[in-house]
Structure 1
Amino acid sequence: MPRVMAWTSRLITIAVLIALMGCFTGAQANYRRPTRVGVSCCKEVSGGRIPASIKLMGYKHQNALSPCVDAIIFYTEKEKLCSDPKAPWIKNRLNGLKKIVD
């Protein structure tokens, strides 16, 4: 009988060690280093009116969070235009445009 108990005790110890190793290696596998994220935002704005000849596809309001500034980003087919949200012509230009959500 003592041999059976010793054998069972060893099996339990081995099983616990294997389970602990699985926990530690599983925790390391779930850890991912953060990726580099480039800051792509308006760092300055223009108060100048966007000509009516430029076709706008949509817009997004960008909140100020350094280095980004408070801005309305207008999207055209080829580029993004950073405008001052306090400019008087902004409200009229936003009418009919689709708000873009990232």
Structure 2
Amino acid sequence: MKQITVIEVETLLNKGKNLNIIDVREADEIAAGKIPSAVNIPLSLVEFRMHELDKSKEYIMVCRSGARSGRATQILEDYGFNVINMTGGMLAWEGKVE
């Protein structure tokens, strides 16, 4: 499984890089703040909503600590998607939130 740190993600965003970020937390967790431009697809719905994703794009998976996003990364990898797990999750995130 490919991984990326919160610092690497924040650096890429600060450089203006357009990232495809999927936050797999539940709606009540998202309400407390998410990375700007992140799309919310709760882990429980990843398999049902994967048809919304493009296999030619790279996705960064995010959750609270990195565990659920790791599971989501594995699920999507098994279906042939190019995905990276953000280690540390939102607990480690110090960048902007919306």
Q: Greater CA radius of gyration, 1 or 2?
A: 1
- The answer to whether the superposition gives a TM-score over 0.5 is no
Name whichever structure is richer in helix by fraction.
2
Give the TM-score, by structure 2 length.
0.24
Name whichever structure is richer in strand by fraction.
2
Give the TM-score, by structure 1 length.
0.24
Question: Which structure would you say has the larger RCO, counting Cα contacts within 8 Å and 6 or more residues apart?
Answer: 2
